[in-house]
Chain A
Amino acid sequence: MRAVNQVLNGWGNYTPCQSRVFRPERIRELFELMRNGDQEPSWIGRGLGRSYGDSALNPQGGTVLFERLDRLIDFDPQTGMVTCEAGVTFEALIRIFLQRGWFLSVTPGTKYITVGGAITSDIHGKNHHVDGTVSQFVESFDLLTGTGEVLTCSRSENTDAFWATVGGMGLTGLILRGRFRLLPVESAYLHVDFQRARNLDEAFALFQEGDQAYRYSVAWVDCLASGASLGRSVLMRGNHAAVAELPPRWRQSPSTVPLRRQHSVPFNFPDFALNPLCVKLFNALYYARNRDQQKIVDLDAFFYPLDALRHWNRMYGKRGFIQYQALFPPKSSRSGMIALLEAISRSRMASFLAVLKVTGAAGDGLLSFPKPGHTLALDLPNTGSRLRALIQRLDQIVLDHDGRLYLAKDATMSREAFSRMYERLDEFRRVKARLDPANRFVSAQARRLGIVEEG
């Protein structure tokens, strides 16, 4: 197969990378590519490139695109169990199955991701506090390992490969197919309670009181607020709406999301577009507009507000941005969050979006991100040395509070920080050494973090 030489990037456009890109259109072609081992010294799989950093980049070898491996293999309308190739997107799953009464069991804040990307990042959604990560709903997947074997991995078969791959950022091999459960829903709508919190303590208290009543819970935080308003936020919590709960005009076709016009950011914005004043104004307006209220909201508006603006990442200009997502355990989450928010607020580095969420029980993924506590995610535009200095301060705060950063977002962490945050790293390395003894699967991130030490 021919390679295309192309600059690829993470969603944050922060780490452009000249890549040799391959795109099999059938699983057989993928096998041939991998068997022909000398073609590239190493490989990494890539879905829709929605990870923000360098986890789906491999400048020193080949990159395998999964976008054309997008076939459904099986669907059981009784149980909602889907089997499909790894390149099937969440967007397609919704388009196909929502009308039949099924939704994703776990979804991130965009539907433009693949099944393979979801499994390898062990993604979490707004329902993590009750449902856990996506791997809770994955029955099995087929993994092509570094030794050329195809392993069917599940909780009862090749268990260690299962838990190393889930959250393992593509370093254990290529996921060919996945088998997972969908969630039965009555409609394409949710009823959502919007509630304002004047500061972080109020937000934490509201979360603690009410979260169990909601399948989905998240808060939007104004990162520029400071002092007594530090952590000022709007909580958005909801559940799937039954048809009977919908206003009459929606009951006709309850499983259809109303069409919205898609807008697109046509080119990279110039650097001044997101200046701190604009963002401050936006954030203040947002807080003012969202009075406490109950609303019926459609799936797209609730889960995927950013998808309405294609290429929204270009708003951050050519230099890109990073997304910083930290998680603190319960004992240090209040102090950690305060320290983090203070540092960000003081830095005056603009960020539209900061999302705060309570996380639930940890899964068994060796490098999976979520564990009990609170997580905060926000965008930081690339301002060069200023950004690097800020990140250094933030990383230190996270370490000091026993926190960790999410690999699907990370573009900047040091290997020392990483190994302190992920206590099961050595276990992961042992499984990887067995599945991929020659380190054929490597990403730019794996090299930076020393997950893979090349000979």
Chain B
Amino acid sequence: MSAHERGNGSGITLILGATSSIGKSLARRLAAEGRGLIVAGRDEPELRAIADDLKIRYQVPVRVLRYDATDFESHPAFFATCAAGEDGPLTGVVFCQGAMFDQAEAERDFALSRQMIDVNYTSAVSLLSLAAAHLARRGTGYLCALSSVAGDRGRQSNFLYGATKSALTTYLQGLRNRLARQGVAVITVKPGFVDTAMTWGLLKPGSPLVASPDQVARAIERAIRQQKDHVYAPWFWRWIMAIIKSIPEPIFKRMRL
């Protein structure tokens, strides 16, 4: 019995930004549970490599689809293709796409700020709204998106990125509220420091605060399975962020964080 047959009935999950380090790990975790996948992104050869690997490892159906994150007009057609697969109904969508540029550079160059807003937020609204409509029509399924602890409080060192994430968090919160009675779960994941392509060279590898993509993927897979509303990944960031959020603004604004 293949993993797919074991997981039968759980339907297909679409991963947006499937070439991200976290997305790749998550794809493995979901495929190991027997879910069929659509891996979507802009780097087609890479997506094919990811798909071949998943098919050999877990013997689940995996489809490759290309999309342009910031060509918003193209999204409805792209999403229709996603929803029209033959491997099973599309029941889950995970948004892993994200861009982060150096704060100082983005302060100097609005194009970089703009790109973060477009890739992390505008694109999410465009794609997830389509997904929400699809799932609401079916009356079941889940939406999951990777926000960030950086969205919990604006800090001088990273707020151009952080602001896109708090916008995303708020959007997801509202969407969850709207979809709750329609049987669709909306899951907000806030990773802390993760050892990925995005952070390579910025974080100290081996530090206990830095999680592996697989650790985060496991937390996401669990959150999806348990249909959680929002999770920090790893869990201890909840407490770190609780402290950071509790610092009064008059003090916080003078801190170097």
B197 at the interface (CB under 8 A from A): yes
Chain B, range 42-81, C-beta contacts under 8 Å to A: 43, 45-46, 49-50, 52-53, 56-57
| Chain B positions 201 through 218: 1 when the CB is less than 8 Å from some CB of chain A, otherwise 0 | 110011000000000000
* Chain B interfacial residues counted at CB < 8 A: 18
Assess the B201–A71 pair: CB atoms within 8 A: no
Q: How far does the Cβ of B101 sit from chain A's closest Cβ, in whole Å? A: 13
Contacts of B202 in A (CB 8 A): 2
Chain A, range 235-292, C-beta contacts under 8 Å to B: none
C-alpha gap A106/B239 in the complex (Å) = 47
B21 at the interface (CB under 8 A from A): yes
B200 at the interface (CB under 8 A from A): yes
The answer to whether residues A72 and B53 also contact, given A1-B200, A2-B200 and a CB cut-off of 8 A, is yes
* Chain A interfacial residues counted at CB < 8 A: 17
Contacts of B21 in A (CB 8 A): 25, 68
B199 to chain A: closest residue by CB = A2
Assess the A74–B52 pair: CB atoms within 8 A: yes
Assess the B56–A72 pair: CB atoms within 8 A: yes
How many A-B contacts if CB must be within 8 Å? 41
Assess the B200–A73 pair: CB atoms within 8 A: no
A331 at the interface (CB under 8 A from B): no
A71 in complex: contacting residue of B53, B197, B200, B206, CB < 8 Å? B53
A96 at the interface (CB under 8 A from B): yes
The answer to whether residues A25 and B53 also contact, given A4-B205, A6-B205, A68-B21 and a CB cut-off of 8 A, is no
C-alpha gap A4/B197 in the complex (Å) = 12
Assess the A96–B57 pair: CB atoms within 8 A: yes
Assess the A23–B56 pair: CB atoms within 8 A: no
Contacts of A28 in B (CB 8 A): 43, 45-46
Residue among B24, B56, B201, B206 having the largest count of chain A Cβ atoms under 10 Å: B56
Assess the A3–B57 pair: CB atoms within 8 A: no
Assess the B52–A72 pair: CB atoms within 8 A: yes
Assess the B200–A75 pair: CB atoms within 8 A: no
Q: How far does the Cβ of B46 sit from chain A's closest Cβ, in whole Å? A: 5
Assess the B53–A3 pair: CB atoms within 8 A: no
Q: Report 5 cross-chain contacts, Cβ distance below 8 Å, ordered by A residue.
A: A6-B205, A25-B197, A26-B49, A72-B53, A72-B56
- Residues of A at under 8 Å CB distance from B? 1-4, 6, 23, 25-28, 68, 71-75, 96
With A23-B200, A26-B43, A27-B49 given, name 5 new contacts (CB 8 A).
Answer: A1-B200, A4-B205, A26-B49, A71-B50, A72-B52
